[in-house]
Structure 1
Amino acid sequence: RRPTGEEVARYYPERAARRGVEGRAVIGCRVAASGRLEACAVVTETPDGEGFGSAALKMSRHFKLRPMTRDGVPVSGGTIRIPIRFNLPD
């Protein structure tokens, strides 16, 4: 599951939106056996200082992924990097 367009809009950094700034962030996370993301951290964000990294971290709770498995059983420990693009509506 990925965040919906509505969820992305909800987390769009307010200052950046007011100024018409678009951006991007990459977060790195562990994937729990449940498929939820854990221990996420900002890997990169562009442009710096606009809040896109923080917004991406807040959105991480809306992702759900297929976890790693061992002998057919879901396990925690997989890692992933997720790029997130923040675009203003047309």
Structure 2
Amino acid sequence: MTWKTTLAYAAAIAALGAAHSAAAEETRDFVTRPVWARTPSVNDMHNHYPVRAGTKGGKAVLECQIDAAGAFSGCTVTSEAPTDVDLGAAALKLSRLFRMKPKDAEGKPVDGRWLTLPIEWKPGRW
């Protein structure tokens, strides 16, 4: 096998992996009506608020997978505003404090499903 053939195989395998990854994202089953077992307290929100944000406040949106215990894993920041004050990182830390009940409001199990989680900080309204 030549190095050109090896590169062609590697490129084909990478393309298949990317296509599989994109297809997996398109078929994610999202919970749209969560039932919460636990949410962060006002003190938790305050303690996780980044100092760099000052009094601006802001919002970060996460996408997380839910496990059988209602905990989140594999969270990623999909957006944050403003972008230069670490709200996304703060939201990722705060996500560990959320727990969902085993079933959503429609009675469907949440295990293995995904949730879009917006977290908004409004200093002065705590």
TM-score, normalized by length of structure 2?
Answer: 0.62
**For 1:45 and 1:78, how far apart are their aligned partners in 2?**
23
8 Å CA contact 2:70–2:101 kept in 1: the answer is yes
Evaluate the alpha carbon distance shift between residue 78 and residue 68 of structure 1 in structure 2; reply closer, same or farther with a 3 A threshold.
Answer: farther
Would you tell me which structure has more helix in proportion to its own residues?
Answer: 2
Task: Say which structure, 1 or 2, has more relative contact order (CA 8 Å, 6+ apart).
Answer: 1
Deviation at 1:76, TM superposition (A): 2.8
Structure 2: gaps of 5 or more residues: 1-37
Deviation at 1:67, TM superposition (A): 3.5
Evaluate the alpha carbon distance shift between residue 45 and residue 75 of structure 1 in structure 2; reply closer, same or farther with a 3 A threshold.
Answer: closer
In structure 1, give the amino acid aligned to 2:101: R
In structure 2, give the amino acid aligned to 1:6: N
8 Å CA contact 1:68–1:77 kept in 2: the answer is no
Asked whether 1:3 is paired with 2:40, we answer: yes
8 Å CA contact 1:25–1:85 kept in 2: the answer is yes
Deviation at 1:2, TM superposition (A): 1.1
8 Å CA contact 2:61–2:80 kept in 1: the answer is yes
Larger Rg computed on CA atoms: 2
Deviation at 1:75, TM superposition (A): 6.4
Aligned counterparts, 1:20-31, within 5 A: 20-31=55-66
* Aligned equivalent of 1:51, options 78, 81, 86: 86
Alignment-derived partner of residue 67 in structure 1: 102
Cα RMSD (Å)? 2.1
In structure 2, give the amino acid aligned to 1:11: H
**Stretches of 4+ aligned residues off by more than 3 angstroms:** none
8 Å CA contact 1:31–1:67 kept in 2: the answer is no
Deviation at 1:15, TM superposition (A): 1.4
